[in-house]
Amino acid sequence: MLFELLKTDETSKARRGRLTTTRGVVETPVFMPVGTQASVKALDLRELNEMGTQILLGNTYHLNIRPGLEIITAAGGLHKFMNWHKPILTDSGGFQVFSLAKIRKIKAHGVEFRSHLDGSPLFIGPKESMEIQRVLGSDIAMAFDECPPHGCSAQDARNAVDRTLRWAKECLVQPRAQGQFVFGICQGGVDPKLREKCAKELVAMEFDGYAIGGVSVGEPEPEMMKAVELAEPHLPTNKARYAMGLGTPAQMVELVARGVDMFDCVLPTRIARNGTAFTRKGTFAVKGGAVKMDFGPIEEGCTCFACQHHSRAYIRHLLNVNEILGLRLVSIHNSHLYLRVMEDIRTHLAAGTFGEFRREFIANYRPSQKVLTARQQASLAKE
């Protein structure tokens, strides 16, 4: 069984589950650190394992360009290339094609565009995306979809759903790596009829799991939540649900309550590189002068390496003199926090106390406007 539903929450749509792949079991809800180019920014595999990382995300578009399939094939696949032996999910490349390519031409079976690196002509469609993911050898591959920008016209949204569904059928018939699962991606923005249409038709195709796409593409948070709420009722309870590209710790808690099982987001390491730390009460600028004489940890009670061994004042010093160790330590803390929040959610779901945990977490969390802006920017750029 790919996904096993272990327990549901009485106060919300939150679920405790278990995703079984050929390379290991993933306990859900789960956060997947983003390893766009076969590496999670600033973190090594030892650190990721020590944090309790269960599954990583890789990027089809970027890995196809660099290092290229020839090198990854010679290495024996993506897992061996990066020496990661746990599960990997690869996205389809669709988001990058539609967000990074300034000049593109949509064809019946894919998209013609130019590389963001050197402008060379490229083409990716369902067949090409699935072949790249087959060679990468990911445990979960994503169907190739069209991800329209926030604010697109109603007609563009309808066209995107129609293409996504047509391409989804093509993805299902392509060869796969041994033991590789494929998830379909539900589009439709905040149009109830489009979300329902896309979800129901994807479910009829019997994918191994389902993602909710077209979120965190510049829309306000209420619209993001609405998009998830519109798609979720039409997705099967016996398969995993993945909200792509989300979110802050508080957003993930709220999305778990809306029935989501899987998350990925570049924020933990992205804002760390700008000297900002996540805590269970929100964010703060470690680079700020307010902590120059603060010899406590980034967050009291945190068990990450950074908090156990270094002070805010020391880490601020490293950041302000541009020492790489500074951004690494904040990246370690932020990533550790994301994984611990997911672990806490699973524990409370198992104990039947998720409702109380959710209320307390949201009441104490105070996101800054800067972080919300960073999230929106992160969704439109490569990690």
Q: Which amino acid appears at position 154 of this protein?
A: A
Q: How many residues does the chain have?
A: 383
The active-site residue out of 91, 139, 145, 261 is 91
- E-only strand ranges, 149-303: 181-186, 209-212, 241-243, 262-264, 276-279, 282-285
Distance CA(255)–CA(213), nearest Å, equals 14
Secondary structure (3-state) at 147: coil
Q: How many CB atoms lie within 10 A of CB 183?
A: 25
Tell me, rounded to whole angstroms, the distance of Cα 90 from its chain centroid: 10
261 is catalytic: no
Task: Kindly list the distances between the CA atom of residue 214 and the CA atoms of 51, 81, 149, 285, in Å, as whole numbers in the listed order.
Answer: 29, 31, 8, 30
Which residues have CB under 8 Å from 356's CB, separation 6+? Answer: 348
Q: Which amino acid appears at position 145 of this protein?
A: D
Distance CA(170)–CA(129), nearest Å, equals 11
Distance CA(298)–CA(41), nearest Å, equals 20
**Do the Cβ atoms of 286 and 316 come closer than 8 Å?**
yes
| Full DSSP string of 31-79 | EE-B-TTSS-TT--HHHHHHHT---EEEEHHHHHHTT-HHHHHHHTSHH
Q: Comparing C-alpha atoms, which of 338, 357, 362 is closest to residue 250?
A: 362
180 CB-contact burial (10 Å; exposed 0-12 / middle 13-18 / buried 19+):
buried
Sign for the pseudo-dihedral over CA of 361, 362, 366, 369: positive
**Do the Cβ atoms of 262 and 240 come closer than 8 Å?**
yes
The active-site residue out of 9, 139, 261, 264 is 264
Dihedral Cα 160, 177, 91, 282, nearest 10 deg: 140
139 is catalytic: no
Hey, which residues are catalytic here? 91, 264
